[in-house]
Amino acid sequence: MVRYNESMSRRSTSKRGEAQRPSLPEGVDFEGAAECLKTLAHPGRLRLVSLLLEGRFSVGVLAEATGLSPSVTSEHLRLLERCGLLRNEREGRRVFYSVAEPLLGKIIGCVHDRFAA
């Protein structure tokens, strides 16, 4: 949670005391980022990603570890895969998922740090 403080209420100023205009980083797809973050923002999906940061697992193993049904687990995993956060590999009838986005660990690390009991 960001806490408001007095310094946040002041405009940034240059050394000459002139007000500076803030600028956004160029080339950032904020709409795409928001869509992926909305997809990630579900308790079951956060649990799945937390597990997948430990390694590559099958849908059945992930379902059992999270307490979700295999069909619900599969749907969550497909949504995360569509955002490019996960990838899958099929071995016979089993599908294994793993993390595709290397920076996902930093996002989940922030979640763990902020919301750990």
What stretches in the chain show pLDDT beneath 70? 1-17
pLDDT at 28: 94
- Does this model's pTM top 0.85? no
CA–CA separation, 85 vs 50, rounded Å?
12
pLDDT at 12: 52
pLDDT at 6: 44
pLDDT at 2: 44
pLDDT at 5: 46
Domain ranges of the chain: 43-117
User: 10 Å Cβ neighbour count for 76?
Assistant: 25
pLDDT at 14: 58
Q: Return the ∠ at Cα 108 (arms to 76 and 72), rounded to 5°.
A: 15
User: 10 Å Cβ neighbour count for 6?
Assistant: 6
Question: What is the token pair recorded at 87?
Answer: 């990838």
Strand stretches in 1-117, DSSP E: 57-58, 86-91, 94-99
Q: Domain 43-117 belongs to what architecture?
A: Orthogonal Bundle (1.10)
**Site of tokens 């009838």:** 93
